[in-house]
A and B are shown apart, each in its own frame.
Chain A
Amino acid sequence: MTHRRLRAGALVAALSLVVLASGRGVAHEGDDVAAASPVAPRFDPPAPGTYELPPILELAPHELLDPKGEHAPLLGLQPGEAALVSFVYLGCADQCPMATAVLQQVDRRISERPELAGRVVLVTVSFDPARDRPEQMGRLARALAPRGRWRFLTAPDPTTLAPVLEDFGQDAEELVAGAVPGARFSHVMKVFLVDGDSRVRNVYSAGFLDARVLVNDLLTVIEER
């Protein structure tokens, strides 16, 4: 049995592996699940401040590249502020755009909430630094036309990015070219709520990524001070 034959067999197997953040959610790399029709969530999110969001992780400071190619802090938060951080790659066809779309909804909702405007930072970070250069991130920023503070960052190289992903517990592994049609990375799409003390206070994936919930969680964290 040659190595090449072994690998080929394994890659065929990979085609049948769905990488999902949610079984009820959106299909992802290699998905052979039938196209799904949207069904609206059937709940009212709990009111801000009526529940607890205990710290999950503490983050170290990190520096990446902004759309001008200049070094910029990942979060740059002040006390009393909060951030939503999303890791994506621009070649991603499904879950990354979904995360970006929900962040855009949050951006719009925040702009209508004076108690949040100016106190929230949205952060979109590419985990494909080889292809997603600062200028590409800048192009995405212009397309989204943020109303509030929304940082678009990439890394100079994978080595710089690795400790950031490690710190958040965000998996992102580059796939063998062609192993999964249309996908370059294996990852679980996650969005992280970070408070002004650089602590992750909630993590969301496709099964529970709802702009109403995100806004209420931001209010819960910001107003607890």
Chain B
Amino acid sequence: MGHIAVAVSIAVAGFVALAPPARADEPCQSPYVQKLVGQEDFVYVWTLGIPGVGDGSDKLVTIGANPARADYGKVVASVSVGGRHEAHHAGFTDDRRHLWAGGLDSSAIFVFDLASDPAKPRLLKTISDFAERSGGVVGPHTFYPIPGRMLISGLSNAKDLGGKSALVEYANDGSYLRTIWMPAGAEYGYDVRINPHLNRMLTSSFTGKKNYMRPLGELLKDAEAMKQFGNTMVVWDFHARKPLQTLEVPGAPLEIRWATDPRHEYAFTTTALTSKIWGIFRKGDGSFEAVAVADVGDPGKVPLPVDITFSSDDRYLFVDTFMDGSVRVYDVADPRAPKLVHERRIGSQVNMVSQSWDGKRLYFTSSLLANWDGIGGDDEQFLRAFGWDGTSLTPTFSVDFRAAGLGRPHIMHLGSMGLAAARGGDAAPGPAR
């Protein structure tokens, strides 16, 4: 009990450290979720089904990712949810025991148990009344854990399938809590990310279901439809869940990443249609400004920036561009002046990227949306793993998701046997290599 008394005496003396700068973060994770800082054993891949490929259904796929294990670079497990729902994003619960995964078409939410056997997730529950319970929100996108709850950003609404959307909260047990519609003048939704140190939440904006479910080639030719994309980000008081400020960020600002160091009071996003990196900077008066800080490739060629990841030391921003299948790495030590330091083609198309805590391993997947992916030879479907040494990416392994009968791989999250084993579970750690 001695250390408790010491800690208490420190607290009584004054400030209790609430938000010291952790050195690192799995860049895609909420600050409220447990962190995996060592070597990951698995990559969980939420995968869209393709008619005629395997069982044709959406599925959660486990890929071995630890070079010390015999299943490195192999498909370890696959659990199908039945049917195609436009599998898209997913997120751990705050205790990392469950993974919530959504379908942008059906609005179904699948809750997987990861704790019982991290190698072989199990479908625990399906929430099939998201639209009804939320008051008409459809297209559950980001699954962002907050203590005891899951915060879900929607993309669209059931009434007109346009971009007006909302944030929806659920308890970890799957019960609906509340819906918070996006504010007037900034109705579109996409990502949501919280900075607890500032009590600020940022949201971004994409487009509604009638656009994201259309074939991309057809959509690009429809001038009226192309006007129906978000051009705003919203700064919120997270605790009060109240919008404070709308920022003009033209061209569909998508993924949001806050810096990890709490002294770095900024976040990045990229705009899909205008191909720019934007910095969202806290100003001296506590309000925020959005500043376009760099172009991504040649915006005139519409490379379509999609997923990004921000290294845990706040040094490197990795930006995937879908149309040219490439990743560009920017040194953002000066966040207002990113410098391109590396560029590499990953495949015919690339969408998602996930990074290990230490920034040494990156994983890329190929699929954006079923109707937006390339055609024929431009429709490679893969997970490709790379090592990053601070200057260049080196391939480590690759899994062909089409050849393996799996489908279109989308978001990736990292898993480990470690905690399950430390808990004394009998989940087999798998054979050592």
- Asked if residues A46 and B239 are in contact (CB atoms below 8 Å), the reply is yes
| Interface status of A97 (Cβ within 8 A of chain B) | yes
Stretch of B131-139, B206-214, B422-430 that contacts chain A? B422-430
- Asked if residues A174 and B423 are in contact (CB atoms below 8 Å), the reply is yes
Q: How large is the interface on B (under 10, 10 to 19, 20 to 34, 35 or more residues)?
A: 35 or more
| Interface status of B31 (Cβ within 8 A of chain A) | yes
Q: List which B278-297 residues lie within 8 A (CB) of chain A.
A: 286
Q: List which A12-53 residues lie within 8 A (CB) of chain B.
A: 13-27, 30-34, 36-43, 45-46, 50-52
Nearest first, the 10 A-B pairs at minimum CB distance are: A16-B38, A101-B11, A10-B421, A36-B20, A97-B7, A203-B148, A38-B17, A13-B418, A14-B422, A179-B422
| Interface status of B3 (Cβ within 8 A of chain A) | yes
Please tell me which one of the listed residues B199, B260, B421 contacts residue A24 in the complex, with CB atoms under 8 A apart: B260
| Interface status of B172 (Cβ within 8 A of chain A) | yes
Complex A-B: 5 CB contacts under 8 Å = A38-B20, A56-B171, A101-B11, A176-B421, A211-B16
Residues of B near A15 (CB, < 8 A) are 38, 418
Residues of B near A169 (CB, < 8 A) are 148, 171-173
Q: Give Cα A106–Cα B197 distance, bound, in whole angstroms.
A: 19
Please tell me which one of the listed residues A34, A43, A90, A211 contacts residue B4 in the complex, with CB atoms under 8 A apart: A90
**Interface residues as binary, A171-184 with B (CB distance below 8 Å gives 1, 0 otherwise):** 10111100110000
Q: Give Cα A186–Cα B20 distance, bound, in whole angstroms.
A: 21
Would you call the interface of chain B mostly helix, strand, loop, or mixed?
A: loop
Residue from B3, B22, B177 whose CB has the most chain A CB atoms within 10 Å: B22
- Asked if residues B423 and A1 are in contact (CB atoms below 8 Å), the reply is no
- Asked if residues B11 and A102 are in contact (CB atoms below 8 Å), the reply is yes
| Interface status of B221 (Cβ within 8 A of chain A) | no
Please tell me which one of the listed residues A90, A139, A186 contacts residue B423 in the complex, with CB atoms under 8 A apart: A186
| Interface status of B419 (Cβ within 8 A of chain A) | yes
| Interface status of A77 (Cβ within 8 A of chain B) | no
Residues of A near B26 (CB, < 8 A) are 23
| Interface status of A72 (Cβ within 8 A of chain B) | no
Please tell me which one of the listed residues A23, A104, A192 contacts residue B12 in the complex, with CB atoms under 8 A apart: A104
Q: Give Cα A100–Cα B11 distance, bound, in whole angstroms.
A: 9
B144 to chain A, nearest CB (A): 12
**Interface residues as binary, A198-212 with B (CB distance below 8 Å gives 1, 0 otherwise):** 001001111111110
Task: Tell me whether A10 and B4 are in contact in the complex, defined as CB-CB below 8 angstroms, given that A25-B18, A174-B423 are known contacts.
Answer: no
Interface residues of B (CB under 8 A from A): 1, 3-8, 10-12, 15-26, 29-39, 41, 66, 68, 94-95, 97, 147-149, 169, 171-173, 177-178, 195-200, 237, 239-242, 260, 262-263, 265, 286, 416-424, 428-432
- Asked if residues A42 and B419 are in contact (CB atoms below 8 Å), the reply is no
- Asked if residues A97 and B422 are in contact (CB atoms below 8 Å), the reply is no
B38 nearest CB neighbor, chain A only: A16
Residues of B near A174 (CB, < 8 A) are 423-424
- Asked if residues B260 and A14 are in contact (CB atoms below 8 Å), the reply is no
Q: Give Cα A216–Cα B187 distance, bound, in whole angstroms.
A: 30
Q: Give Cα A42–Cα B17 distance, bound, in whole angstroms.
A: 12
- Asked if residues A17 and B37 are in contact (CB atoms below 8 Å), the reply is yes
Please tell me which one of the listed residues A40, A52, A97, A139 contacts residue B15 in the complex, with CB atoms under 8 A apart: A40
- Asked if residues A43 and B41 are in contact (CB atoms below 8 Å), the reply is no
Q: How large is the interface on A (under 10, 10 to 19, 20 to 34, 35 or more residues)?
A: 35 or more
| Interface status of A57 (Cβ within 8 A of chain B) | yes
- Asked if residues A208 and B4 are in contact (CB atoms below 8 Å), the reply is no
Q: Give Cα A160–Cα B306 distance, bound, in whole angstroms.
A: 50
Residues of A near B241 (CB, < 8 A) are 51-52
- Asked if residues B5 and A207 are in contact (CB atoms below 8 Å), the reply is no
| Interface status of A54 (Cβ within 8 A of chain B) | yes
- Asked if residues A17 and B20 are in contact (CB atoms below 8 Å), the reply is no
Q: Give Cα A45–Cα B238 distance, bound, in whole angstroms.
A: 10
A45 nearest CB neighbor, chain B only: B239
Residues of B near A104 (CB, < 8 A) are 8, 11-12
A185 to chain B, nearest CB (A): 9
| Interface status of A188 (Cβ within 8 A of chain B) | yes
Q: Give Cα A17–Cα B15 distance, bound, in whole angstroms.
A: 28
A182 to chain B, nearest CB (A): 10
Residues of A near B97 (CB, < 8 A) are 171
- Asked if residues B239 and A24 are in contact (CB atoms below 8 Å), the reply is no
| Interface status of A113 (Cβ within 8 A of chain B) | no
A9 to chain B, nearest CB (A): 5
- Asked if residues B4 and A97 are in contact (CB atoms below 8 Å), the reply is yes
Residues of A near B35 (CB, < 8 A) are 18-20, 23
| Interface status of A59 (Cβ within 8 A of chain B) | no
- Asked if residues B422 and A180 are in contact (CB atoms below 8 Å), the reply is yes
| Interface status of A5 (Cβ within 8 A of chain B) | yes
- Asked if residues B171 and A101 are in contact (CB atoms below 8 Å), the reply is no
| Interface status of A11 (Cβ within 8 A of chain B) | yes
Q: Give Cα A14–Cα B95 distance, bound, in whole angstroms.
A: 15
A146 to chain B, nearest CB (A): 11
- Asked if residues B11 and A190 are in contact (CB atoms below 8 Å), the reply is no
Q: Give Cα A179–Cα B147 distance, bound, in whole angstroms.
A: 26
Residues of A near B68 (CB, < 8 A) are 9
Task: Tell me whether A41 and B197 are in contact in the complex, defined as CB-CB below 8 angstroms, given that A17-B37, A18-B36 are known contacts.
Answer: yes
Please tell me which one of the listed residues A50, A57, A108 contacts residue B240 in the complex, with CB atoms under 8 A apart: A50
Please tell me which one of the listed residues B5, B262, B286 contacts residue A143 in the complex, with CB atoms under 8 A apart: B5
| Interface status of A116 (Cβ within 8 A of chain B) | no
